[in-house]
Amino acid sequence: MNKLILSAGILSVLTLFAHVFGGGPEIHIPVLESDLSLELKAILSVVWHAVTAVLVINSVALFLAAKSKGAKKMLVLFVSSQYLAFAALFVFYGITHLGTLLLMPQWSVFLLMPALALAGLRPRETRLIGK
């Protein structure tokens, strides 16, 4: 079992719970209760639940990668590319629209998960932690 990739998987599940139980009441429900059109609410709901699905799938992929020998690299690179794209979006919109990264700190967890997972791909003898 690769402890670094497993740690990324656990962090992914924690992010999933934060998204559903924290972000739902804070973001998704207020959007649904807003004066936006029904079509726009439906589209935003699809996007919201698509992110939930991505978090579930990526969490499972990281757990599989932590146990796998053959598919580990492919799974880690796939999940890491998605999470790095999420981080880039949070950084871009935080800086360009909000003028700060402090209001949407999600970028940090979306950088930490691939950092852990990618570190887990390194040969054991070159890793500093996670042996």
Rounded to two decimals, the pTM is 0.90
What average pLDDT score do residues 32-58 get? 97
What pLDDT is stored for residue 124 in this prediction? 75
94 vs 126, higher pLDDT:
94
Q: What are phi and psi of 24, to 5 degrees?
A: -55, -60
In the chain, domain spans: 3-123
What average pLDDT score do residues 102-108 get? 97
DSSP 43: H
Separation of alpha carbons 119 and 4, rounded Å:
7
Dig out the tokens for 77 from the structure: 């690179």
What pLDDT is stored for residue 127 in this prediction? 59
What pLDDT is stored for residue 81 in this prediction? 98
